[in-house]
Amino acid sequence: MKLIFGLGNPGEAYNKTRHNLGARVISEISRQLAIKLSHTSRGAEWGRGSRKETVFILARSRMFMNLSGRSVAALAYYFRIPPENILIVVDDLNLPLGALRFRARGSAGGHNGLKSIIEIMDSQDFNRLRLGINQPPMGMKAEDFVLQPFRREERLPVNNLVEKAVQGVIHWLDNGIESVRAEYN
């Protein structure tokens, strides 16, 4: 079994912000694969799906970013999913808008959601899909920047990024991390 988890903040006010890009990808996977996120427990909205011979849980956070680890760990523990079978979908200030990068493991890279997951799970050995949102403009704090919606001229590149991310996640499900890294990074 695998877990695909999109990070974001709960509530309508955050839906279209940069920080909710991971949750947005999960919503699009849910739509494309017809997986209803009908369960709300363990700090997440989630649903169960299968593809080929792989059963997976598709989830997006209902907790604030800094508490994401609680939700990821609770789902992983409940379904007995080891870290290497988890894919976290997350925004990344260090990648240009529209870029994506799959990683097999690594540090939090300054991201509070990833930091929370690493601390609570006591592991860095989970997969992640980082989605580029750009650096904040000069003089703007990162925490303010990530809570802003994308500007009008950014919407097409973001929509393209979401679609590419969905296809990448499906590729990961079917072929694993090394294959998706070779194909998408």
pLDDT for 166 equals 98
pLDDT for 110 equals 83
pLDDT for 135 equals 92
Q: Tell me: the pLDDT tens digits for 33-43?
A: 999 999 999 98
Q: Is the pLDDT of residue 159 over 90?
A: yes
pLDDT for 19 equals 93
Q: What is the pTM of this model?
A: 0.95
List 19, 39, 111, 171, catalytic entry: 19
Q: Is 19 a catalytic residue?
A: yes
Give the CA distances from residue 102 to residues 40, 70, 98, 122, 160, in Å, rounded to whole numbers and listed in that order: 27, 23, 13, 21, 17
Mean pLDDT of 112-130: 95
**Maximum Cα–Cα distance across the chain:** 49
pLDDT for 88 equals 98
Mean pLDDT of 111-137: 95
pLDDT for 109 equals 85
CA–CA dist 29, 112 (Å, integer): 24
Q: Vertex 61, ends 128 and 165: CA angle to 5°? A: 40
What residue ranges define each of the domains in the chain, with the CATH number in brackets?
A: 2-184 (3.40.50.1470)
Q: Is the pLDDT of residue 4 over 90?
A: yes
Mean pLDDT of 111-116: 94
* Band of pLDDT at residue 80, cut at 50, 70 and 90: very high
What percentage of the chain reaches a pLDDT higher than 70? 100
**Helix (H) or strand (E) segment spanning residue 46:** strand 44-51
Sort strands 127-132 and 100-103 into parallel, antiparallel or unpaired: antiparallel
Q: What is the mean pLDDT of the chain?
A: 95
Reference 15, options 62, 67, 69; nearest CA is 62
Q: Is the pLDDT of residue 108 over 90?
A: no
